[in-house]
Amino acid sequence: MPPRQITDPELEQIIAEVISHAHHREETYLPRSVPLTPAQKEALRPYFSRELLDRVRVLELENERVANPGYYARAEKRGYKLMLNFTHKAVIAHPQLLIFQDKLSLRLLFHGLVHVAQYSALGRERYLGLYVRAFIHTGSYTSVPLEMQAFQLDNRYTEDPGAPFSVEDEVRKWSQAENYALHQKATRTG
């Protein structure tokens, strides 16, 4: 039997758990992180503000993966596919921290920094609320508008590295146009 539709109170509870876990994960891993190297900053300065590049920290995990949060197993037991499997993500973005579970490359760093810029523009709670709602609605992280923009911008970055652009300006434009929000009700079955 397919799972029942997620109610609005259940959705709000899921979002609250995602926000809480993301905040806890960032606090847990932040002490082990390091600033971007001068070479990384120099390579990405045409795309990101000095403030963002100076603020963000990175952690490259070796022989370790970020565990899935408790809500992940509970959702699976109920038949819901609510969120990504964190153990398979190449980079996990937070407002101040990027956790790399695959080899850190400039392109992967760029993609993660797009998410940091999105967090900066939207705030943690709005960013994660939009992400969860879109993921539940579409069932695919590649259809989440926040991810769609990150993929579009990292493709633009790699296709023409000689044509720099401001990621933060692009994020502001999408935010002002409300391109991050799905305009349909963000509930779906399993």
Tens of pLDDT, residue by residue over 35-71, are 999 999 999 999 999 999 999 999 999 999 998 887 7
Alpha helix (H) residue ranges in the chain? 8-29, 38-44, 50-55, 70-77, 106-122, 124-138, 145-159, 167-176
Quote the pLDDT of residue 185.
Answer: 41
Q: How many CB atoms lie within 10 A of CB 3?
A: 13
Lowest mean pLDDT among 4-18, 68-82, 104-118, 141-155: 68-82
Four-CA torsion 167, 171, 174, 179, nearest 10 degrees: 110
Mean local confidence (pLDDT), 157-170 = 94
Quote the pLDDT of residue 156.
Answer: 97
From the centroid of its chain, how far is CA 106? 17
DSSP state string for 97-132? EEEESS---HHHHHHHHHHHHHHHHH-HHHHHHHHH
Q: In what order do the strands lie in the sheet with 34-35?
A: 34-35, 57-60, 97-100, 91-93
Mean local confidence (pLDDT), 136-159 = 91
CB 141 within 8 A of CB 132: no
